[in-house]
Structure 1
Amino acid sequence: MSKPYVYVTRLLPEHIIEPYSDELEIQMWPYEEQPVSIEKLEEESHRADGLLTMLTDKVDQGLVEKSKHLKIVANMAVGYDNIDVDAATKFDITVTNTPDVLTDTTADLTFGLLMATARRMVEANQYIKDGKWGPWSPLLLAGTDIHHKTIGIYGMGRIGEAVARRARGFDMKVLYHNRSRKTEAEEKLGAVYVEFNELLEQSDFVVCMAPLTDETHHIFDAEAFRNMKKEAVFINASRGATMNEDDLYHALEQKDIAGAGLDVFEQEPIGKDHPLLQLDQVVCLPHIGSATVETRHKMMKLCLDNLVRYFRGDSPLTKVN
């Protein structure tokens, strides 16, 4: 009996792939940094029993409809807005993601981004590189305190809760807004549920950790930024389209808010001339929330475990639909 054929849309380390080769016939796109071409993805989806995809790969209804043999798509991300899950479900295609294994790593990055923005670390680093460091002055590159401030977390999922745990270590007051109350987080972390506008009005740091949905699309718009404190810092480490970038740029220029730390953008990748990159009070990262060697290897293995379990007839570990 032939092994199920799986196509992987990026080049993954051989030592990760090899242990699964007894049960799966695996072929990979031969480039690590270059995304799979649309033509190649369509070609492979026609013959593959399973796909291991990245967040940048669009598995839309048109592709699903043409994929006669496809049975499972293992997406190497927590989010899966790159996949038409409804279409996949209609054609009896299982979709999986990679939650849990990246929770703490992404929370580390998110809180690090908050700290870097609040304390102007990137700006200070560039200040030295530009040869500007001269005599000491009382308010040279003075940022804002983090300890004993109020953090407002929009989206209290696993990563949101992990960010809250880190905030408690800085003696911060934790507010949150979520589509449902998280009583366990309230009990364990002292987190306080508030309505969205109240979160905006009371928080010194507003952190977006929500998935991208119709409800959250551009939830952070001009009105939301106007409702924040003038001294507030906005952090987004979830999905870029939860914010309106033009509105954020104008809010920063007009000093409606004090700064922003961004790991995500509406259209990725961004170029060096992107307006937000021109503002000193903004720290930008290239969507590296889960980017540690340890975590990325765990994500790869979870995708492959899901594929193997599916083809064995077992339930995948992290099924979405």
Structure 2
Amino acid sequence: MSVQAYITRQIPEEGMSILKKKLNVSSWCSENVMPREDLLKHVKGMNGILCTISDNMDKEVLDAAGPQLKVISTLSVGTGHIDVSECKKRGIEVLNTPDVASDSAAEFTVTLVLLVARRLLEGMDAVKNGEWGLWKPMWICGFEMGGRTLGIHGLGRVGFGIARRLKPFNIERIIYHDLYHKEYASSVGATLVDLPTLLAESDMLCICCAPTPQTIKSFNKEAFAKMKEGSILINTSRGVIVDHNDLDAALKAGRPMAAGLDVTDPEPLPIDHPLMKNPKCIITPHQGTSTWATRINMAKAAASNLYISLLEEDN
């Protein structure tokens, strides 16, 4: 009996070819999100599903698939879109792609740090709006990295990658907050500090921690009030960690001075949300891992995870 696998989105051929070796594969042939009613219909009878972060893999989907479903492989680092506890009850293995996206995510975070610190978007808008006149000594001035303190909330793969990339910019100090000391922190001269110290002393604060009951909405008005004057906040982790209404108010009050968000809650953020019109906030559409190489490698990793696990189940 052939092993059935369903792919909820069009993925690079490099990933698809792995699955086609020995699996009976069907897929949604579009880069757009699969409509819910189609998802519920097409997963029926599948042994494995390869999904994306936009697919809500909840109890309803698991019920629609049936008891023969054994594996869900997601083309993402996060698994918040999957009901992991329900999968565990049913003996369904949940697999993700945590390693392949770290470099591109770290690079993108550094890009946001530089964009925000140097007020690049404001400069570009000024040019487009015809505001670029005669030279003014202090017009659209930002700050340099040299002599500054880089703060990282969560020194995992991405956080460490950020520290490694920004250190050559003559960063004076690197501090981080995490649940415990990371042995590799010493290789970039990073020092473990508590959260109040991270907030008070960071010139550039990058959020790289996982969403947990302790971190969700932890960046709120109380946290922003403790941030260093003139500092910037960057979030490329998960949108739920930041209270967006509080951030809008904090930016208007000047602490932090500016922010860069690649993740929001919800995604996309409603067009009428105050942050969307706040000139001190750059918002990008969850582009952190959006490189050709990373997308291909994520597809290959997700496909390999599903392929190997299903063949093991079949033996």
- TM category, shorter: over 0.9
AA of the residue aligned to 2:70? K
Secondary structure of 1:313's aligned partner: helix
CA displacement at 1:15 relative to structure 2: 4.9
1:102-121 to structure 2, matched below 5 A, reads 102-121=101-120
Deviation (angstroms), 1:135: 0.4
Q: Tell me the SS of whatever aligns to 1:74.
A: strand
Task: Show the counterpart of 1:183.
Answer: 183
| 8 Å Cα contact 1:204-1:233 kept in structure 2 | yes
Per the TM alignment, residue 17 of structure 1 is displaced from its structure 2 partner at its CA by 1.2
Counterpart contact for 1:81–1:212, Cα < 8 Å: no
Paired AA for residue 251 in structure 2: L
Q: Shift of residue 271 of structure 1?
A: 4.1
2:56 equivalent among 32, 55, 58 = 58
What pairs up with 1:128-277 in 2 under 5 angstroms? 128-172=127-171, 173-185=173-185, 187-277=186-276
Listed one character per residue, the Cα deviations across residues 37-92 of structure 1 (whole Å, up to 9, x for unaligned) are: 22222223332111111111111234334532211111111111111211111111
Which range moves more in the overlay, 75-84 or 235-244?
75-84
Q: Distance in 1 between matches of 2:241 and 2:93?
A: 26
Measured in 2, the distance between the counterparts of 1:200 and 1:295 equals 32
Match of 2:305 in 1: 306
Quote how far apart the aligned CAs of 1:14 are.
Answer: 3.5
Q: Give the distance between the partners of 1:178 and 1:60, measured in 2 at CA.
A: 30
What is the SS of the residue equivalent to 1:95?
strand
Range 138-147 or range 100-109, more displaced: 138-147
2:14–2:300 CA contact under 8 A, matched in 1: no
CA deviation vs aligned residue, 1:78-112 (integer Å, no higher than 9, x gap): 11111121111111100111111111100000010
Q: TM-score, normalised by structure 2?
A: 0.95
Task: Please tell me whether residue 45 in structure 1 is matched to residue 43 in structure 2.
Answer: yes
Could you tell which deviates more after superposition, 36-45 or 189-198? 36-45
Deviations 1:263-288 (A, max 9, x none): 01010112443311212221110000
Aligned-residue offset at 1:116: 0.2
2 CA distance for matches of 1:18 and 1:167?
38
1:282 alignment partner AA: C
**Contact map agreement 1:46 1:69 (CA 8 A) in 2:** no
Query: RCO (CA 8 Å, sep 6+): is it higher in 1 or 2?
Result: 2
Q: Which moved more, 1:93-102 or 1:166-175?
A: 166-175
One-letter identity of the residue aligned with 2:51:
T
Q: Which runs of 5+ in 1 are unaligned?
A: 315-321
Contact 1:238-1:264 within 8 A present in 2 as well: yes
Distance 1:181 1:15, change over 3 A: closer
One-letter identity of the residue aligned with 2:181: R
Alignment partners' CA distance in 1, 2:157 and 2:35: 33
Secondary structure at the counterpart of residue 260 of structure 1 = strand
Specify the SS of the correspondent of 2:37: helix
Q: Indicate if the aligned counterparts of 2:48 and 2:306 stay in contact, CA closer than 8 A.
A: yes
Distance 1:295 1:88 in 2: 27
Residues 287-296 or 166-175, more deviating: 166-175
Amino acid at match of 1:37: P
Q: Quick check: 1:263–1:287 contact (8 Å CA) kept in 2?
A: yes
Runs (4 or more) in structure 1 with deviation over 6 Å come to none
Query: In the aligned structure 2, how far is the partner of 1:217 from the partner of 1:62?
Result: 26
SS in 2 for 1:42: helix
CA deviation after TM superposition for structure 1 residue 175, in Å? 0.6
Deviation track 1:279-312 (CA, whole Å, cap 9, x = no partner) reads: 2221110000000011001000001101111122
- Counterpart of 2:78? 79
After superposition, the CA RMSD in angstroms is 1.5
The residue matched to 1:46 in structure 2 has which SS? coil
Q: Aligned pair count?
A: 311
> 1:157 & 1:40 partners in 2: Cα distance?
37
Deviations 1:153-206 (A, max 9, x none): 011111111011112111221110112221222x21111000011100110111
Percent identity of paired positions between Structure 1 and Structure 2: 34
Q: Distance in 1 between matches of 2:241 and 2:271?
A: 22
